[in-house]
């Protein structure tokens, strides 16, 4: 049964990645033509900012996933409430703080760092302010992803990601075809992020009904335990993933021009999709390893 679960979870993740790749191949030319190189460069910058800022949860979603997988394997729930409450509190507070800091820094980034001038300056500031408002749902999505992955609900997460990505792509194309531009595309992405986070919250409440509540709570011992594992995981994530995907975009925007960033991002967004495939395997294997490491080390080797 466990083998079937692994195959199902890995397969659903791979299917979701292939779907996202095909979706990108269809949508990307429409966005580039509709926005133009300069505004597409700004869109890439907006997505890069939210990608960078997504580490603001300090890895507590990933850490919670490990500990929840252990409890799931033991069929215990007495620690689960503490882990979820503490992770939820940290993620929510960091989301609010990150939104404030990104919003506060936006004028400086636009005018001094990226040196955007003229009519594009207003669009850039609006786009980045809206992007800042989208940090909270991104952190909550990461949290609920970790909670549900800890209970092996990975096929459902893959389906949710497919639906979310499809909705973002479809609505982005729709607003472009209706004559709207960059700010509308960014707004669409943020609104869908809030809807997706709300959907995950509702499903998580339903899944843990009468066992665990999604509520605020902070215990110094549990928080320290989550952060001690999460911060190390975050550093690894930054070095191995965030730097690879986003640092180059900031460098191009800082030292070159937005049109060049737009051209670069269009090509990179297509070719880099293949690098996401290992994530599908890792997401499915992580809770399996975590659970067996805590309950049956001999079985861990077979995993």
Q: What is the pLDDT of residues 73-118, one digit of tens each?
A: 887 777 888 999 999 999 999 999 999 999 999 999 888 888 888 7
User: In which band, very low, low, confident or very high, does the pLDDT at 216 lie, cut at 50, 70 and 90?
Assistant: very high
pLDDT (0 to 100) of residue 274: 62
Map out the domains of the chain as residue ranges. 2-302
In the predicted model, is pLDDT for residue 202 greater than 80?
yes
pLDDT (0 to 100) of residue 275: 62
User: In which band, very low, low, confident or very high, does the pLDDT at 5 lie, cut at 50, 70 and 90?
Assistant: confident
**Rg (alpha carbons) of the chain, rounded to whole number:** 20
Average the pLDDT over 212-237 and give the result. 86
Q: DSSP of 16-69, one letter per residue?
A: HHHHHHHHHHHHHHHHHHHHHHHHHHHHHHHHHHHHHHGGGGTTHHHHHHHHHH
In the predicted model, is pLDDT for residue 6 greater than 80?
no
Instruction: Please tell me what DSSP assigns to residue 5.
Output: H
The answer to whether 9 touches 152, Cβ cutoff 8 Å, is yes
Instruction: Return d(Cα 84, Cα 82) in angstroms, integer.
Output: 6
In the predicted model, is pLDDT for residue 253 greater than 90?
no
More confident residue, 253 or 244: 253
Expressed in angstroms, the distance from the first to the final Cα of the chain is: 12
Instruction: Return d(Cα 80, Cα 75) in angstroms, integer.
Output: 11
User: In which band, very low, low, confident or very high, does the pLDDT at 273 lie, cut at 50, 70 and 90?
Assistant: low
User: In which band, very low, low, confident or very high, does the pLDDT at 276 lie, cut at 50, 70 and 90?
Assistant: low
pLDDT (0 to 100) of residue 163: 92
Average the pLDDT over 37-66 and give the result. 84
Q: What is the mean pLDDT of the chain?
A: 85
Predicted model pTM: 0.87
Residue 178: helix, strand or coil by DSSP?
A: coil
């Amino acid at each position: 049964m466990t083998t079937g679960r692994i195959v199902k979870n890995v397969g659903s993740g791979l299917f979701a990645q292939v779907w996202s790749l095909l979706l990108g191949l269809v949508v990307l030319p429409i966005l580039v033509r509709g926005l133009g190189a300069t505004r597409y460069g700004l869109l890439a910058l907006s997505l890069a900012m939210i990608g960078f800022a997504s580490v603001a949860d300090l890895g507590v979603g990933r850490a919670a996933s490990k500990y929840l997988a252990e409890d799931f394997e033991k069929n215990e729930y007495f620690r689960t409430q503490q882990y979820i409450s503490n992770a939820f509190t940290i993620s929510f507070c960091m989301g609010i703080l990150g939104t404030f800091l990104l919003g506060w820094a936006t004028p400086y980034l636009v005018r001094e760092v990226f040196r955007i001038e003229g009519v594009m300056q207003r669009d850039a500031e609006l786009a980045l302010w809206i992007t800042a408002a989208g940090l909270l749902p991104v952190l909550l999505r990461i949290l609920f992803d970790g909670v549900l992955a800890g209970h092996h609900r990975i096929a459902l997460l893959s389906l949710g990601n497919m639906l979310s990505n499809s909705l973002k792509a479809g609505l982005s194309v729709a607003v472009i075809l209706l004559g709207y531009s960059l700010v509308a595309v960014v707004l669409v992405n943020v609104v869908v992020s809030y809807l997706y986070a709300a959907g995950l919250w509702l499903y998580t409440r339903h899944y843990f009904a009468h066992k665990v509540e999604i509520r605020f709570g902070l215990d110094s011992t549990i928080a320290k335990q989550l952060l001690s594992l999460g911060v190390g995981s975050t550093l690894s994530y930054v070095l191995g993933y965030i730097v690879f995907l986003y640092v180059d975009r900031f460098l191009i925007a800082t030292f070159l021009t937005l049109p060049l960033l737009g051209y670069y991002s269009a090509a990179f967004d297509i070719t880099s999709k293949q690098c996401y495939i290992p994530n599908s395997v890792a997401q499915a294997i992580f809770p399996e390893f975590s659970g067996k490491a805590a309950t049956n080390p001999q079985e861990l080797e077979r995993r």
